Amino acid sequence: MEKLIEILKNINADVDWANETGLIDNGLIDSFDIIALVGELNDGFGVCVELEHLEPDNFNSIDVIAKLLKSLGAEM
């Protein structure tokens, strides 16, 4: 999980990634952030986040992002 937090902090250091549960709903990250995040997740975890995974529900909190990564075979 530390690796994921590090990646997320590189996207936006001002967000409380560990506790925020409405990243998209509360406007803390936008579509440009998600595109950057997907690239970092793909590189950092050796997964391929596909277009079908780009649902807001998959990026609203660190827990759902971690769940997505696990479903794609990433070791957390």
> CATH number for the domain including 6?
1.10.1200.10
- The answer as to whether 6 is a domain residue is yes
Considering only CA atoms, which of 55, 57, 65 is closest in space to residue 11? 65
- The answer as to whether 30 is a domain residue is yes
* Integer Cα distance of 45 and 56 in angstroms: 20
- The answer as to whether 14 is a domain residue is yes
- The answer as to whether 76 is a domain residue is no
- The answer as to whether 11 is a domain residue is yes
pLDDT at residue number 75: 86
What is the domain count for the chain?
1
Q: Which domain holds residue 48?
A: 2-71
Q: Is the pLDDT of residue 76 over 90?
A: no
Whole-prediction pTM value?
Answer: 0.91
Return left, alpha or beta for 27; rule: phi > 0 is left, psi -120 to 50 is alpha, else beta: left
Q: Tens digits of per-residue pLDDT, 62-75?
A: 999 999 999 999 98
